Amino acid sequence: MMLKELTPTDFPDLKRFIQGQPYGLCYYSLPSILTWSNPFYQPFGAVEDDALIVGIEFEEKIDSRHMLLPLSRERIYPPEQLRNVAQSCGFDAYRFVSEEYLASYKREDIEACFSITEQQGYEDYLHLVSDLSELKGNKYAKKRNLINQFRREYVVKDRIRVEPITPGFRDECVDFLYKQSEEAGRDIDGDEDLICEKEAIINHIDHIDILETPGILLRIGEEVAAFGISAHITDDIAALHYEKAYSRVKGLYQYFDNLCAKTLFEGYTYINRESDMGDTGLIRAKNSYHPVKQIRAFELKVKA
């Protein structure tokens, strides 16, 4: 099977494959698949009947090349067929295989075709939209207090403005991204992962109108101080991609997180706030919002 390079402009032709697809990991957000394209990492794909086949190529890290599970609203590929697809495309592994797939078939049937390894640190955090938009109960008391402090200092005094993200805001968002990364002690241009994320953000904002992904930014005065973008994953799960905010502004992150939950997830039950990548700070921050579930990710390696 021949795969061709995928770009954000392919979204209108491919979006039919994500309506009704079952995998809740953020890696199955089609806008994310299409926008994570850069000199190091490139998505490729092909349409096979009622499914979108996706493979990820790497410029240098050849051992990292992998496929994602086929995206289809009609069917789930059984293990033998899944192996055949990988082999026909020249790949030997699927990564970010959602635990929903493993639950669809007997373990012995999967292990007849693949070795199975859990990808530690890539478990996605699922939160109820209602929990993050309402913040009810004692467990969210600290969040509410911080939000109220931010409201008194910035909202009541009319110091903020919230706007939908459009392509025209791209340069401002990138400028903010550099400042926010510097605040966190990170060098965007000196870290491959941060370079890839920056390129994905640029790609996403440039094409946000065709990707059908609502996003908002928050200004303090005239300066961008936070932004976030949501994207469809399954019929009841949407991802919160690229949520960024200055940590030096007390209560901003909590206020903005609550604002995103209220404005970007209409019609969805769950917010996927992505994985923690094994980072202790992210683990603490994500758990402070009391996820209702974590979706584990697995690698399936084709057996010879």
| Same domain, yes or no: 10 and 109 | yes
| Same domain, yes or no: 104 and 224 | no
pLDDT band for 64, please (50, 70, 90 cuts).
confident
Q: What is the mean pLDDT of residues 231-254?
A: 96
| Same domain, yes or no: 98 and 209 | no
| Same domain, yes or no: 152 and 57 | no
CA atoms within 13 A on the CB side of 81: 10
pTM to 2 decimal places = 0.94
When comparing pLDDT for 278 and 137, which is higher?
137
- Residue 51 sits at φ, ψ, to 5 deg, of -135, 150
- Domain containing 67 — which CATH number? 3.40.630.30
Total of domains in the chain: 2
Taking only the tens place, the pLDDT of each residue in 14-27 is: 999 999 999 999 99
| Same domain, yes or no: 108 and 248 | no
Beta bridge pairs of residue 128? 270
| Same domain, yes or no: 150 and 285 | yes
Percentage, residues of the chain above pLDDT 70? 100
| Same domain, yes or no: 113 and 167 | no
When comparing pLDDT for 189 and 61, which is higher?
189
| Same domain, yes or no: 245 and 150 | yes
How many angstroms separate the CA atoms of 268 and 213, rounded? 13
Expressed as residue numbers, the domain containing 272 is: 125-294
Contacts of residue 184, defined as CB under 8 A and 6 or more positions apart, other chains included, come to 247
Q: Has residue 1 got a pLDDT over 90?
A: no
pLDDT band for 270, please (50, 70, 90 cuts).
very high
The pLDDT mean for the chain works out to 95
| Same domain, yes or no: 83 and 104 | yes
Q: Has residue 303 got a pLDDT over 80?
A: yes
Q: Has residue 60 got a pLDDT over 80?
A: no
Q: Has residue 61 got a pLDDT over 80?
A: no
Q: How far apart, in Å, are the Cα atoms of 55 and each of 58, 71, 232, 300? A: 10, 12, 20, 14
Q: What is the mean pLDDT of residues 41-52?
A: 94
DSSP string, 95-161: EEEEHHHHTTS-HHHHHTTEEEEE-TT-PEEEEEHHHHHH--SGGGHHHHHHHHHHIIIIITTT-EE
| Same domain, yes or no: 219 and 276 | yes
Does residue 266 sit in helix, strand or coil? coil
Q: Has residue 125 got a pLDDT over 90?
A: yes
| Same domain, yes or no: 64 and 96 | yes
| Same domain, yes or no: 107 and 160 | no
Q: Has residue 46 got a pLDDT over 80?
A: yes
Cβ contact 147:251 at 8 Å: yes
